[in-house]
Structure 1
Amino acid sequence: MTATALAFATVVRRSRRRLPLLGASALIGTASLLALPLALANAVDAAVAGDGAGTWALTAGALILAGVACDLVDAFAETTCTADAAAWLRGGLVRRMLAIPHRIRDFDTGDLVARTSAGAADAAQAGPGLIGALAATLPPVGGLAMLLWLDWRLAAAFALGLALVAVVLRLFAKETAAAAIAYQRVQGAMAARLTEAIGGRRTIAAAGTVDAETKRVLRDLPHLAEHGRTSWKALASAGARAAFAGPLATVGVLAVAGFLAGRGALSAGEVLAAGQYAMLGAGLGSLTGVLGVLARAKAAVARLDEVQQIPALAYGDLNLPETGAGRLEFRAVTVDGPDGPLLTDAAFTVPGGAMAAVVGTSGSGKSVLATVAARLRDPDSGEVLLDGVPLPRLSHKALRDAVGMATERPALAGATLADTMGPGRPREAVLTAAAAVGADGFAERLPDRYDTALDRVPMSGGEAQRIGLARAWRAERLLVLDDATAALDAVSELRVADALAASGSTRLVVTHKALIAAEADLVVWLDEGKVRATGRHETLWGDPEYREVFHQ
């Protein structure tokens, strides 16, 4: 499936339902802000002329209330807009992560968690941040227009100050963008190490290396602080420059206004209005905060896009032939790794209903072969067929109904034990699978049996493997076991083997046990990513190097 780029504009478009409300509120708020100095000017001039300023004072009060109402609308719309975008981003990112089992190890788990949590929250600010930036420019631009209406010389003095502030903002945006993405990358790396440490907490405690591991997790803290300081320095520098440029514009406008008033070209009220509009120029410096939000949003979107850019596994629209028995074929399958081939021209056939044992030393490519057979990744060349149909041409439902996989360390997820053993399956199917793999005994001893919450299920490595086997039991044609019975005792393993044989499905079993290989109809012997030989266990046993595989 072709990857779709996640761009800043894409996130902004996602917020389009709320952005019009934000924009309208910003326009109304700006209009009231720009109208207020004129109302006050007329009130002053009316008072000086003795005509009474009550009407204009009420108008000014109404404009102030309108501005407050717009602020409340802004707060509501921005919060709901950001929450909706964050939920959408997190949902899309989780779906993409689960759709790329072949590439998910390109990222550290903790880093992915950081992108999904803090990263999505920052990226969700794209729409409101953009509207905020545009809204922040409206008062100074509107002020410039009103000063031009009053007198072009006032506008010229004001424009000079605005130009200085614009230069300051441009420098700030450039500095803070680089600091933001560097900060997020270091934060992700620290989260990755923390996740590793939490996963290995027992080993760390047993080894007495808590202090050393703490230092390892936090070793980039100085870099994180450095990037944070860079952001704050840029903000402080921009604020200081803007604090100088803004008042300079105000002083310039007031000086020109005073000169014009002395010549009778401006009234007292118009001088007041000119001062108010000049102060809006100083407000342009507040854009530093908005630009900081935009910089963090752009950096976060770029990091989310790194995950989004990995193509998900694509599926076809074919079903398996009804008469098939699970015949598995590898045809010149090659899988490339970052440091060279993981599998090279692997070719063999497992007859339907047969059991094939995959053996080899550590690093020979056994698990890679298993993931390709279960189509958790595609080969870089060659093809894998099930009952004559290439796996990529099967529909998602046809593939997952036909093929199941259990591993040595299954990742168990679900609300209850039953949910974990058979997500979305009828209770009877769950009970049947549990009985077949010997998971029914300990399940029946739990307080709520199969309805026991998963986090209340005490389990050994063997029990976790039984749950994983029960979950994969739905496979109709092919069951791939990657050392999935390694933690079972001999009696339990024999029970599972008998149940597998009775199921009639084809079995591809990665193992390091000679006993299991001896029970197989076919042994696939891997050596450094290549199929060294295939045949019966008793035939291959005559090779000393084959026997050595089981003594590693």
Structure 2
Amino acid sequence: MPDQAPDPAARQVTRRDGDRLLVATTRGLWAPLTVTAAAVALSTAAILALPAALAGAVDGVVSGEGARAAGFLALVLAVATCADLIDTLAGAATTASATASLRLRFTAHLLRLDAAGARRFSTGELANRLVSNTASAGRVPLTLLYTVAEIVSAGGGIVLLLVTDWRSGIAFLIAVPLTLVIVRLSVGRLSGAYERYQGAHGRLAARLTDTLAGIRTVRASGTADREITRVLRPLTDLSNAGHSMWRAQAQGVWQISLLLPVIEVAVLVVAGFGVSDGRLQPGQLLAVAGYAAIGVGFIDQVDALLGIAEARAAARRIQEVLGLPPLVPGTRPLPEGPGALSFRGVTVTRKGSRLLDAIDLDIAPGTLTALVGPSGAGKTTLAMLAGRLLDPERGRVLLDGHDLAGVAPESLSGAVAYAFERPVLLGGDLASAIAYGRPALDRDSVREAARAAHVDDVVRRLPDGYDTPAADAPLSGGEFQRLGLARAMVRRARLTVLDDATSSLDTATEAQVTRTLVEGMRGTTRLVIAHRAATAARADHVVWLDGGRIRGRGTHRALWRDPAYRALFAAGPDHGGEADDDSSWSEEPCPARL
């Protein structure tokens, strides 16, 4: 199970691209962010007023006139409490909205990619970016707001400290430059470590997801120890990056932890001499202590700055996916037609390999055409082009004379149906899974398609019949394949593409299903990827692919004279392997587009 590495083009995303994504996300949160900002501003004002209110209350008690000062102190505390409550509620809404916005944008873009784009990252990598990285990036708007508020609060505290006692303020300011240098160095060290940590975490998640997907193969092969070693290989990089983060944090924390008490003690010593000299009142000493504590608050934003560094790395990883070019949907409706399919000079490359090389091919309407060839010949790639699950780098794909690139998606999905080797059944229960994408279909149409795919009797034997949840249906691989066939048949499309969709059927059932494909779907165009000689023999026309080129075409009987053609089927029905051009092609691509 080799890892699926990102395409080199996907690595060109810079930190600036990630920053733009964070800015764009923040701009879309004006409503909850405005409420949060108002609450934070009110809270900041209350915090700055609190030391003065406390000093006035103390001095009022000493002078015997503390009632009014105590009332003001109570008002400040009440305002601060209410502001914190509003801030908590609005802040949670802000973070939730930002995260949801990123996840929706990520998912929507992913579903707009063609099959090649969707497979540039493994399932584990995509899951990590969708769940973990969006959560990190979604916290940025609120973190930035709090950081700005804390800086404003700290600046106000320093100004008020200088106003209250300029000598104490000077003592405070002497230590500020050294503190800023320490903070800057800590953030710089951690930024790179965060990126290395997230990259290793994503690779680990991807390998684990791939292994869990093939757990039966691992157990049957007795390769559990080997897989554990492979999955945990990024653990060294993860550990090294984690330790780098911890060392950088520890170094910054002990330096700042040592410096803060020194600053506060220096300020209090200067203010204490002021009280003893009669320059300051006792209440003013409390005010100086309070403003000094507020002034050093910007140092407590080190964690927030580290969180921003982590979020910037996360945003860059999200942008790597968002930066992949999506399929540009066409806008023209597809007129009625018999289902003539044409490929004109079609070339497809992937990861530097040419999967199809200048293919010119015409498939007559109403015929059953079989695509045959060894693994990597380009069969699945050609089949995906037929319904625009993939766009060619060069050339055009035409359905009834119309370029698929200009056809509106809703029109195309009604004209082309797919059945896959390993179908993913979406929609809830089995009836909805068969009617997926056609919610208006009645139950009779669903049952008719199931009967055509020879799976109706299987579904009826289940306790809940067609109401059985698809995820819980106790069905074999062949039975799931027949459900996928029924989903394709119910669409009554002018072109039906079957990607080795009968490979898991027993001989008797395959013969029944093939008879339906040959006789029951007569009049519609059918494109079948065939690994079995029996399937190719029943086709009207066979296209023999090899190395991305057409090596031969004609009837199965005519091609059978060639020993190399016969060798394609010599190893039995599974000759050539389950995968065609890449292991990811054998899974159902972009199901939401079908």
Instruction: Specify the alignment match of 2:187 in structure 1.
Output: 173
The farther-off stretch of 250-259 and 350-359 is 250-259
Instruction: Specify the alignment match of 2:7 in structure 1.
Output: none
Mapped pair 1:368 → 2:385: no
1:477 is aligned, of 491, 494, 519, to 494
Amino acid at match of 1:507: R
Structure-to-structure mapping, 1:259-274, within 5 angstroms: 259-261=273-275, 264-274=278-288
CA distance in 2, matches of 1:437, 1:279: 75
CA contact (8 A) 1:327 1:388 kept: yes
Deviation of the 1:9 alpha carbon:
0.7
Mapped pair 1:248 → 2:262: yes
Instruction: Specify the alignment match of 1:69 in structure 2.
Output: 82
Listed one character per residue, the Cα deviations across residues 235-292 of structure 1 (whole Å, up to 9, x for unaligned) are 3322222223323332333344345556654333323312221122332221122122
Structure-to-structure mapping, 1:74-93, within 5 angstroms: 74-93=87-106
CA contact (8 A) 1:247 1:282 kept: no
Structure-to-structure mapping, 1:403-422, within 5 angstroms: 403-422=416-435
Listed one character per residue, the Cα deviations across residues 95-134 of structure 1 (whole Å, up to 9, x for unaligned) are 2222222222211111111112222221210111111211
1:396 is aligned, of 396, 409, 434, to 409
Instruction: Specify the alignment match of 1:455 in structure 2.
Output: 471
Amino acid at match of 2:399: L
CA distance in 2, matches of 1:317, 1:209: 50
CA contact (8 A) 1:249 1:281 kept: no
Listed one character per residue, the Cα deviations across residues 321-363 of structure 1 (whole Å, up to 9, x for unaligned) are 22x1000001010001213211001111011111111111111
Any idea what SS the aligned residue of 1:301 has? helix
Instruction: Specify the alignment match of 1:495 in structure 2.
Output: 512
Deviation of the 1:400 alpha carbon:
0.5
CA contact (8 A) 1:476 1:505 kept: yes
2:346 is aligned, of 291, 308, 333, to 333
The farther-off stretch of 383-392 and 69-78 is 69-78
Amino acid at match of 1:500: L
1:52 is aligned, of 60, 65, 68, to 65
CA distance in 2, matches of 1:78, 1:443: 50
Instruction: Specify the alignment match of 1:113 in structure 2.
Output: 127
CA distance in 1, matches of 2:174, 2:79: 31
Amino acid at match of 2:313: A
Instruction: Specify the alignment match of 1:486 in structure 2.
Output: 503
1:213 is aligned, of 218, 224, 227, to 227
CA contact (8 A) 1:254 1:275 kept: yes
Listed one character per residue, the Cα deviations across residues 470-498 of structure 1 (whole Å, up to 9, x for unaligned) are 11221521111111111222332233233
CA distance in 1, matches of 2:89, 2:244: 32
Instruction: Specify the alignment match of 2:320 in structure 1.
Output: 306
Mapped pair 1:437 → 2:456: no
CA distance in 1, matches of 2:95, 2:444: 44
CA contact (8 A) 2:165 2:288 kept: no
Q: Tell me, which stretches of 5 or more residues in structure 2 are unaligned?
A: 1-12, 576-594
Amino acid at match of 2:342: E
Instruction: Specify the alignment match of 2:589 in structure 1.
Output: none
Deviation of the 1:209 alpha carbon:
3.3
Mapped pair 1:516 → 2:516: no
Amino acid at match of 2:499: D
Any idea what SS the aligned residue of 1:333 has? strand
Any idea what SS the aligned residue of 1:538 has? helix
Instruction: Specify the alignment match of 2:592 in structure 1.
Output: none
Instruction: Specify the alignment match of 1:233 in structure 2.
Output: 247
Listed one character per residue, the Cα deviations across residues 28-82 of structure 1 (whole Å, up to 9, x for unaligned) are 111111111112222333344x242222123223322322332222222222222
Percent of aligned positions that are identical: 40
The farther-off stretch of 286-295 and 224-233 is 224-233
Any idea what SS the aligned residue of 2:31 has? coil
Amino acid at match of 2:191: A
CA distance in 2, matches of 1:531, 1:212: 39
What's the Cα RMSD here?
A: 2.1
CA distance in 2, matches of 1:171, 1:59: 42
Structure-to-structure mapping, 1:339-354, within 5 angstroms: 339-354=352-367
Mapped pair 1:378 → 2:391: yes
The farther-off stretch of 285-294 and 399-408 is 285-294
Deviation of the 1:152 alpha carbon:
4.0
Deviation of the 1:382 alpha carbon:
0.5
Amino acid at match of 1:327: A
Instruction: Specify the alignment match of 1:537 in structure 2.
Output: 556
Listed one character per residue, the Cα deviations across residues 290-313 of structure 1 (whole Å, up to 9, x for unaligned) are 122222222222111111111221
The farther-off stretch of 208-217 and 70-79 is 208-217
Amino acid at match of 2:506: D
Instruction: Classify 1:226/1:78 alpha carbon distance in 2 versus 1 (closer, same or farther; 3 Å).
Output: farther
Listed one character per residue, the Cα deviations across residues 399-441 of structure 1 (whole Å, up to 9, x for unaligned) are 1000111121112223111121111241233222111111111
CA distance in 1, matches of 2:469, 2:198: 36
Amino acid at match of 1:243: S
CA contact (8 A) 2:25 2:101 kept: no
Any idea what SS the aligned residue of 1:290 has? helix
CA distance in 1, matches of 2:464, 2:58: 79
Instruction: Specify the alignment match of 1:157 in structure 2.
Output: 171
CA contact (8 A) 1:34 1:143 kept: yes
Deviation of the 1:522 alpha carbon:
1.7
The farther-off stretch of 504-513 and 89-98 is 89-98
CA contact (8 A) 1:204 1:213 kept: yes
Mapped pair 1:465 → 2:481: yes
CA contact (8 A) 1:525 1:534 kept: yes
CA contact (8 A) 1:197 1:213 kept: yes
CA distance in 1, matches of 2:550, 2:33: 59
Any idea what SS the aligned residue of 1:102 has? helix
1:296 is aligned, of 290, 295, 310, to 310
CA distance in 1, matches of 2:198, 2:492: 42
CA distance in 1, matches of 2:43, 2:250: 28
Amino acid at match of 1:498: R
Any idea what SS the aligned residue of 2:119 has? helix
TM-score (norm 1): 0.94
Instruction: Classify 1:348/1:222 alpha carbon distance in 2 versus 1 (closer, same or farther; 3 Å).
Output: closer
CA contact (8 A) 1:477 1:505 kept: yes
CA contact (8 A) 2:334 2:408 kept: no
Any idea what SS the aligned residue of 1:415 has? coil
Moved over 4 A (4+): 3-6, 258-265
The farther-off stretch of 154-163 and 140-149 is 154-163
Any idea what SS the aligned residue of 1:98 has? helix
CA distance in 1, matches of 2:560, 2:514: 21
Counting matched residue pairs gives 548
Deviation of the 1:83 alpha carbon:
1.9
